[in-house]
Amino acid sequence: MDRILFGDNQFFGVNHMSEEKARQQAMRFQDMEEIMRVLEAARDLGAGGFMCTTHDRIAEVAERMRANPAAWAGFNMYPGMPYAHKYANAVTELGYFDALRKFLPKDGLVDTLLRGSKAIATQDMSAIIGLLIDAEMKMFHGLKTPVVFLQNVVTDLVIGLGAVDAFAAFASHVQKKYGAEPGFITMNVPKLLPLLDEAGVKRPIVCANVNKIGFRMSGGIEGYRKAAETYDPRVIAMSIFASGALSPRDAIEWVLDEPYVQSIVFGASSRGNIETTINLINEKLGEPA
């Protein structure tokens, strides 16, 4: 797993500090060339991979990477799923069958549909989860995806339901079908880790808010530390700047002193901000700029 990951929030108008800035970013990044310029900067400045949703625009990014494999060699994709809005939009625009054709792998479409019908009829949750993962992973074919994440909307719903089997099914399919490690994005690390342990997921990869002031860390900083001591997760820290409440240097120095944090994911819309963040991370890690 790469130590420094680049995120995609800024490309889709997500900014927790400013709605106006989010709107401006959404307008700017309607241009795919702008998205690629920022990604190229992140790659060139030292980010090891791109942690992204399965938004339709990401399919365009993946296509460009496949078209120029030499330029993107060593830069990994870290997809997070599901992205529910795209399914609703596709059904509205295309109808049910054509929406299925869009998202499911072209090879063996009829077989896939038959397997899906059987899975639903028999209430085979593992098979249903496998089909949904395959639909999401279609856009990443031919690219390296060392970790595949379950988005926090689903992860935290499963926590609430206590549906341990769903975590086990997700992990098993990702490992067997894609040779990837399963990852879990959550807003509540202390609640998640015992369930992953029960599901048989050891030393899990978990992406969660981790920052000096405990911003959006359900269970609090001490809760995260105690859970980490018990279950030994590999944590990717996000929201390390606490939506702008912390200075970059202060935020990075604190988060990298947390022993359970193995990686950082951050987003930025300019080369200058990307360079500043990566340089601060490397400085703390004692690595050359």
Question: What topology is assigned to 4-85+146-285 in CATH?
Answer: TIM Barrel (3.20.20)
The total number of residues written for the chain in this structure? 289
Burial of 183 (0-12, 13-18, 19+ CB in 10 A): buried
Q: How far is CA 279 from CA 59, 72, 166, in A?
A: 30, 21, 39
pLDDT at 202 over 50: yes
Half-sphere exposure of 194 (CA within 13 A, CB side): 10
End-to-end alpha-carbon separation of the chain, Å? 20
Q: What percent of the chain has pLDDT over 90?
A: 72
Average pLDDT across the chain, whole number: 88
Structure tokens, 65? 């990477």
Residue range 10-48, pLDDT digits in tens: 998 665 555 666 667 778 889 999 999 999 999 999 999
Residue range 47-97, pLDDT digits in tens: 999 999 999 899 999 999 999 999 999 999 999 998 766 655 665 687 756
At position 82, the amino acid (one-letter code) is: P
Where in the chain are the domains?
4-85+146-285
User: Mean pLDDT across the stretch 190-205?
Assistant: 98
What is the residue whose two structure tokens read 């689903």? 154
User: 241-260 b/e with 16+ CB inside 10 Å = b?
Assistant: bbeeebebeebbebbbebeb
CA–CA separation, 163 vs 32, rounded Å? 39
User: Mean pLDDT across the stretch 203-213?
Assistant: 98
- Judged by DSSP in three states, 187 sits in coil
Structure tokens, 276? 């500043």
The per-residue pLDDT for 108 is: 53
CA–CA separation, 130 vs 170, rounded Å? 7
The per-residue pLDDT for 135 is: 86
CA–CA separation, 140 vs 62, rounded Å? 6
The answer to whether 15 and 21 have CB atoms below 8 angstroms apart is: yes
CA–CA separation, 258 vs 261, rounded Å? 6
The answer to whether 88 and 94 have CB atoms below 8 angstroms apart is: no
- Judged by DSSP in three states, 73 sits in coil
CA–CA separation, 276 vs 144, rounded Å? 27
